[in-house]
DNA sequence: GATTCGTGGAT
DNA sequence: TATCCAAGAAT
């Protein structure tokens, strides 16, 4: 079965230099799952959370990596995954950690609700499931932070369940393979259905990871390397020559620029910090005091939101602005600095933190930019 | 169904 | 430079 998949397809293509849409080369529909797995066995990526071929996956590592990989690149996740596994080697260990410690470790990775749900999920698995992840898609789906994709991914990869998770990679591969004209997200059910036909009778997890690797390395968003694809000219979009235009989706609108002010207060070797609200943007993370962020922010109004500090009346405005781009709006912050006298009290809800230990704080990258700009 | 949620790299 | 977008979920 394995021998026919790739080795068998090549000579047939050679004998038919004239390729027509009516006689596509490449594996037949029924042969695709095997061809995909054969490709995977040769070209699978080596990733920190992926055990060697044939070695069963650790559900905890699979879950942790899947949460981190939501809307996040493999490269960005790598070091975070290693850090988490080293500090919390099991779901029970993670469940015993404080949310604050988890947020500190997650700082910089973005989408901080994932970190809150990660912690809540670890607690739930520890307390309600005895430290063992549910081994069904339905059971997994009930956990915080685990949606349709992640539940299917864990079920297939960690427990061998016959289900096909559909992520952005697989949406792209499948929409090209079948030239799905319908736009996302309306096309999701159809794509899910088509993706499931690529599931082999065994090795469900490998089938899914194969499609993801294919999407990440061959069937890329721009300039796909179609010549190296195991599906070959079985791909309708490739035959049409417009693979790059799939998947269809409506262009997304960019949000309006918002502006605000940030206030960096030093007291000797210390810095004034506070925590953000538990939910919402950068929820639960640490920040320096700052104003509202508004589309039509008035500079004077923003500056007036500086924290009230006894003995502090003069603020220096740093030249330039700190810019940051969130998913749905760009942000410009003006930075004001001041030096508070020794002994100055932190206002209610705020605290002093050593500059030398800022690396250990739950500071999102925006705040790290602000502090770097201020202390520059 | 549409919004809200970070960040950095590639093109 | 501007745009896209990466193993999506929650609301």
Domain shared by A153 and A87, yes or no: yes
Domain shared by A135 and A157, yes or no: yes
Q: Could you give the number of structural domains in chain A?
A: 2
Strand C nearby residues, CB < 7 A: A 45, 47, 49-50, 65-66, 69-74, 111, 113, 117, 144-151, 153, 167-169, 172, 209, 212-213, 215-216, 221, 249, 251-252, 254, 327
pLDDT (mean) for A180-199: 96
CA of A69: nearest nucleotide by C1' is C7
pLDDT more than 90, % of chain A: 88
Nucleotides of C under 7 A from a protein CB: 3-10
Q: CA-CA distance, A322 to A262, in Å (whole number)?
A: 9
pLDDT (mean) for A90-107: 98
Residue A197, pLDDT > 70, answer yes
- A208-231 confidence digits (pLDDT tens): 999 999 999 999 999 999 999 999
Q: What is the CATH number of the domain that holds A361?
A: 3.90.79.10
- pLDDT value for A112: 98
- Rounded to a whole number of angstroms, the CA Rg of chain A reads 25
- Distance in angstroms: CA A244, C1' C5: 14
In a domain, A159, yes or no: yes
Domain shared by A292 and A329, yes or no: yes
Residue A13, pLDDT > 70, answer no
Domain shared by A219 and A343, yes or no: no
In a domain, A104, yes or no: yes
What is the sign, positive or negative, of the torsion defined by CA atoms of A194, A137, A78, A49? Answer: negative
Q: Is A66 a catalytic residue?
A: yes
- pLDDT value for A26: 79
Q: Taking the C1' atom of B3, which residue's CA lies nearest?
A: A328
Which residue among the candidates A66, A137, A171, A361 is catalytic per the annotation? Answer: A66
In a domain, A21, yes or no: yes
- Distance in angstroms: CA A44, C1' C1: 35
Domain shared by A8 and A148, yes or no: yes
Q: Taking the C1' atom of C10, which residue's CA lies nearest?
A: A145
CA of A222: nearest nucleotide by C1' is B11
- pLDDT value for A312: 86
Domain shared by A227 and A282, yes or no: no
* Domain span at A301: 258-375
């Amino acid at each position: 079965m394995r021998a026919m998949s790739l080795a068998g397809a090549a000579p047939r293509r050679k004998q038919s230099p004239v390729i027509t849409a009516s006689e596509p080369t490449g594996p037949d529909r029924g042969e695709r799952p095997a061809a995909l797995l054969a490709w995977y066995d040769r070209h699978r990526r080596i990733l920190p959370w992926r055990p060697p071929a044939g070695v069963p996956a650790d559900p905890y590592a699979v879950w942790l990596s899947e949460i981190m990989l939501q809307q996040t690149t493999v490269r960005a996740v790598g070091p975070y995954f290693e850090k988490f596994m080293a500090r919390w080697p099991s779901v029970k260990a993670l469940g015993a950690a404080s949310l604050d410690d988890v947020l500190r470790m997650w700082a910089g990775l973005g989408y901080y609700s994932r970190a809150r749900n990660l912690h809540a999920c670890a607690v739930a698995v520890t307390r309600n499931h005895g430290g063992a992840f549910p081994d069904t898609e339905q059971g997994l789906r009930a956990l915080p932070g685990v949606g349709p994709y992640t539940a299917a991914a864990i079920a297939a990869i960690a427990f061998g369940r016959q289900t096909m998770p559909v992520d952005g990679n697989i949406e792209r591969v499948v929409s090209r393979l079948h030239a799905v004209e319908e736009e996302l997200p309306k096309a999701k059910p159809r794509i899910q259905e088509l993706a499931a036909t690529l599931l082999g009778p065994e090795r469900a997890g490998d089938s899914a990871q194969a499609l993801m690797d294919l999407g990440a390395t061959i069937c890329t968003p721009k300039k796909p390397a179609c010549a190296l694809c195991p599906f070959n000219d079985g791909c309708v979009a490739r035959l049409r020559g417009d693979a790059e235009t799939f998947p269809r989706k409506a262009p997304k609108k960019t949000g309006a620029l918002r502006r605000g002010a940030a206030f960096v207060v030093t007291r000797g070797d210390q810095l004034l910090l506070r925590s953000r609200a538990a939910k919402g943007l950068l929820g639960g993370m640490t920040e320096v005091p700052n104003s509202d962020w508004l589309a039509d922010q008035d500079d004077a109004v923003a500056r007036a939101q500086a924290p009230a500090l006894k003995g502090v009346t003069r603020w220096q405005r740093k030249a330039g602005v700190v810019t940051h781009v969130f998913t749905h709006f760009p942000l410009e912050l003006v930075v004001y600095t001041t030096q508070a006298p020794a002994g100055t009290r932190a206002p209610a809800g705020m605290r002093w933190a050593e500059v030398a230990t800022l690396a250990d704080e739950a500071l999102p990258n925006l705040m790290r930019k602000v502090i770097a700009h201020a202390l520059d």
